[in-house]
């Protein structure tokens, strides 16, 4: 067990923690403090994110993407067509514009609410979260830009960081060039894969893999390795960032 003193500013944060055993309130020089007894636990998890499964945990748990924009796309298209048919400067156009804006706002609110609950659920269950350092700007420039924008992966990762800090957890971001999907987590052998290969078998050890689960397990292993060497970024012997071309 570890003992730490908390100021009144952190008292609300402590109450929401799921691992705290009990609290002792003390007043020192007019300042109310809480002494928390924290049950230390080692519950790391690796997370692979994507479009088919929003998150895949190293525990083999998968969460499907909610697709709020896709589910409201027809409704939004109808509202936009009505807006296009109205006369510029008219009251009907102003009303139609508000209806379109309302649909967009509802999509955004539902997405943020879902992301918030999903991030909190992960942070409350695990002490260390290992996840890929995604190139969000690059992903939204591909032909799947609409799908990546709908999933809001960048917002989710940022929420993980914020909520991990609030709950006293840690997020480790693994280098985006780390070959998590095509590396067998059992024998560390790399196999050439295409994006359509969702299930594959290692040609060395014969282990059958689910692509996303295998990637999540590798994220976990690499994240814990980075924690063990005291850094959350892959570095070479000179202390510089690893050259992604030479690394893999």
Catalytic center residues: 48, 132, 212
Two tokens at 115?
A: 């992301």
Is the Cβ–Cβ distance between 136 and 153 less than 8 Å? yes
Greatest Cα pair distance in the chain: 70
Which residue is listed with tokens 């402590």? 14
Residue 122: other Cβ atoms inside 10 A: 24
DSSP collapsed to 3 states, 11-78:
HHHHHHCCCEEEEEEEEECCEEEEEEEECCCCCEEEEEECCCCCEEECCCCEECCCCHHHHCHHHHHH
**E strand or H helix at 136, and its extent?**
helix 136-139
CA atoms within 13 A of residue 132's CA, in its CB half-sphere: 23
Sign of the alpha-carbon dihedral angle for 58, 124, 4, 37: negative
Collapse the DSSP code of 190 into the 3-class scheme (helix H, G, I; strand E, B; otherwise coil) and give the result.
strand
């Amino acid at each position: 067990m570890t003992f730490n003193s908390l100021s009144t500013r952190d008292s609300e944060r402590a109450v929401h923690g799921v691992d705290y055993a009990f609290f002792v309130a003390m007043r020192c020089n007019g300042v109310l403090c809480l002494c928390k007894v924290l049950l230390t636990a080692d519950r790391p998890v690796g997370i692979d994110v994507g479009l088919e499964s929003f998150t895949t945990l190293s525990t083999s748990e998968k969460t499907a993407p909610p697709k709020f924009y896709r589910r409201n796309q027809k409704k939004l298209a109808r509202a936009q067509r009505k807006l296009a048919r109205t006369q510029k400067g008219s009251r009907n156009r102003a009303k139609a514009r508000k209806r379109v804006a309302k649909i967009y706002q509802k999509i955004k609110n539902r997405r943020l609410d879902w992301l918030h609950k999903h991030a909190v659920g992960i942070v409350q269950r695990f002490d260390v979260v290992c996840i890929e350092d995604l190139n969000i700007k690059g992903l939204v420039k591909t032909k799947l830009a609409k799908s990546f924008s709908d999933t809001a992966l960048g917002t989710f990762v940022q929420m993980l960081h914020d909520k991990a800090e609030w709950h006293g957890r840690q997020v480790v971001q693994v280098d985006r060039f780390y070959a998590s999907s095509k590396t067998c987590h059992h024998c560390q052998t790399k196999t050439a894969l295409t994006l359509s290969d969702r299930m594959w078998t290692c040609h060395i050890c014969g282990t059958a893999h689910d692509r996303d689960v295998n990637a999540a397990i590798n994220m976990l292993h690499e994240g814990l390795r980075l924690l063990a060497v005291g850094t959350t970024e892959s570095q070479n012997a000179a202390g510089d960032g690893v050259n992604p071309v030479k690394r893999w």
